[in-house]
Amino acid sequence: MNSLTPLTKGNTCLNCGDIYRMTQSERELYKTMDVQEPVDCPSCRRQRRLMFRNFFHLYHRTCDLSGKKMISMYDIDAPFPVYEMHEWWSDKWDALSFGMDRNASVPFLQQVEILHRTVPRMSIINAQCENTDYCNMSSRSRNCYLVFGCVDNEDCAYGHIVWSSKDCYDCLYCYRCQFCYECTDCVECNTVFFSRDCDNCSNSLFLVHCSACSDCFGCVGLKNKRYHIFNQPYSREEYQQKIAELDQGNRQTIAMAHQRLSTLTGKEIVKSYHGFGCENVTGDYLYYSKNICEGYDLKQCEDCYHCATLGSFQHSADCNFSTAPSELCYNCLTSYGYGLVSCQTCMSTSNNLAYCDNCYSCQDCVGCVGLHNKQYCILNKQCGKEQYAQMFSLIKESMQQEGIWGQFFPHTFSPFCYNETIASMYFPLSENEVLARGWRWKNETTTSGEQYLGPVIDVPERINAVADDVCQKILRCEATGKLYKIIPQELVFYRRMNLPIPSRCFDQRHLDRLQKRNPRKLFDRSCAKCKKDIRTTYAPERPETVYCEECYLSTVY
């Protein structure tokens, strides 16, 4: 078994100055992958990668190849051409035409940066989707709106990491759900609203850590229960009467239920991490995984370090956002395959790549951008097998001498401003803080895109007070002041489910859901029952009673 105990000797992060410690097995993995040990702490490394991922901000612009209007994750001020997705895949252009010879007198990444700023990019990245123009990083979905990183969905809106679901709105990390609203980390739920960390529940509202429950309201930690309100049992008739008396379509009712639910959650006994079927792991939301060090949202992974939102990865470190079988990957973002080093958006099973960006089904390439089905390429230039091996060795050696082999792309390579990226959600910074670090910030007054048309109105408190023409009106977010609209299918959903229309814009609603999850940070605590040392995402000042997995299972089940 790999030990997850950090070494006694710590390292000082060159970015933030914090002390971080590696495990012996982690150091051995770096040797296996032949990459240099990191000089920044895991949090700074993660922040750097996430500065390259814009899920949520979409812009109106024209395709630089055809001139037709399109939706894009890149604003009009992007330094490179942006092509409509299908035209990017066409034979109307060739990424090899941007190739350059290696100039050994300049740093390798300096040449790579030139490609980053000249090779065309896809406007959005969706695969096998229908009627999903306002989505990004989604696959096999239809009739969806503003869903991001989602797969196999139908008739969903305002979602992130929602898979195999139908008719779900405002959900985060949900799987195989239907008719759900404002749910986070829910699995196989039907007609469940304002809930989190639930599975196999139905016809319920305001549930937390419930399993196999139906017809429940405001409950915490229940298993196989029915007709409960705030954890108190009722007969079927009593339950139905009390629910009928609630003004569910009133926003004030929703706010009061949230407040009372928070009182119950503070009294709950919780397991040190969310997940099951794991062995020798630290982190949160871990499933069927083994030997995981500080992992988050992982499924069927093994021997991974500081990874998040992955599936079927082995012997990898510092990777985010991928669910295809992969091995020996380091410092990668939305990339999968074998032997990938410091790559971003390299998919369709690419192997033995380093410092590549937006490459698909490629092998044995380094410093390339926008290639597909290529092998033995350096800086977008085709090489022979022997020439590639010789040049790759020289490039790797020079970067090792600089002490940067394995480090992710510098922040200057990112095509996005900090507040456009998902980094700003997990590592929030003010505009002044971002600019002080030498990073870029986008002011809304400088963004492109069509303006909302129509009069601004107050958000009605009750769904039955919403007029039919609300979709032609503009609403103002109560938290940020941003403008937003209600789409027709959204209004149909709220009326059908008797739910008030939201008083906050989508961006703020997503942030609100993220904040309900525990932070991706581990705290040293002891089990409240057996006093064994544990590492958990529940901070010591939290009100919940935290048990180790063994004590939790023996107490709750």
Residue 276, in any domain of the structure: no
How far is residue 329's CA from residue 32's CA, in Å, rounded to a whole number? 11
Domain boundary at 238, 255, 271, which?
271
Helix boundaries (H) for 139-285: 236-245, 251-265
**What's the whole-number average pLDDT of the chain?**
95
Report the pLDDT value the prediction gives residue 247, as an integer from 0 to 100.
92
Residue 317, token pair as written in the block = 């470190």
| Tens of pLDDT, residues 407-447 | 999 999 999 999 999 999 999 999 999 999 999 999 975 34
Residue 381, in any domain of the structure: no
The pTM score is 0.94
Share of the chain above pLDDT 90, in %: 94
Residue 505, in any domain of the structure: no
Query: Is residue 143 domain-shared with residue 259, that is, in the same domain?
Result: yes
Domain boundary at 237, 271, 305, which?
271
| Tens of pLDDT, residues 330-361 | 999 999 999 999 999 999 989 999 999 999 99
Query: Is residue 143 domain-shared with residue 256, that is, in the same domain?
Result: yes
How far is residue 527's CA from residue 271's CA, in Å, rounded to a whole number? 9
Domain that holds residue 536: 525-556
Query: Is residue 160 domain-shared with residue 41, that is, in the same domain?
Result: no
Residue 238, in any domain of the structure: yes
Report the pLDDT value the prediction gives residue 8, as an integer from 0 to 100.
66
Query: Is residue 262 domain-shared with residue 148, that is, in the same domain?
Result: yes
Share of the chain above pLDDT 70, in %: 98
Report the pLDDT value the prediction gives residue 3, as an integer from 0 to 100.
67
Report the pLDDT value the prediction gives residue 446, as an integer from 0 to 100.
39
- Res. 457 pLDDT band, cuts 50 70 90: confident
pLDDT of 450 > 80? The answer is: no
pLDDT of 1 > 80? The answer is: no
Helix boundaries (H) for 319-402: 385-402
Query: Is residue 40 domain-shared with residue 155, that is, in the same domain?
Result: no
Residue range 97-102: average pLDDT? 98
Specify the amino acid at residue 209: H
Residue 259, in any domain of the structure: yes
Residue 185, token pair as written in the block = 């980390």
| Tens of pLDDT, residues 150-199 | 999 999 999 999 999 999 999 999 999 999 999 999 999 999 999 999 99
Query: Is residue 257 domain-shared with residue 160, that is, in the same domain?
Result: yes
How many structural domains compose the chain? Answer: 3
How far is residue 353's CA from residue 153's CA, in Å, rounded to a whole number? 31
Residue 225, in any domain of the structure: yes
Residue 402, in any domain of the structure: no
Q: Which backbone phi and psi does 177 adopt, to 5 degrees?
A: -115, 160
pLDDT of 531 > 90? The answer is: yes
Q: Which of 440, 514, 512 is nearest to 480 (CA)?
A: 512
Q: Which of 59, 184, 165 is nearest to 121 (CA)?
A: 59
Residue 235, in any domain of the structure: yes
> At 474, which helix (H) or strand (E)?
strand 474-476
**Size of the chain in residues:** 557
Q: Pairing mode, if any, of strands 279-287 and 290-299?
A: parallel
pLDDT of 452 > 90? The answer is: no
Report the pLDDT value the prediction gives residue 349, as an integer from 0 to 100.
86
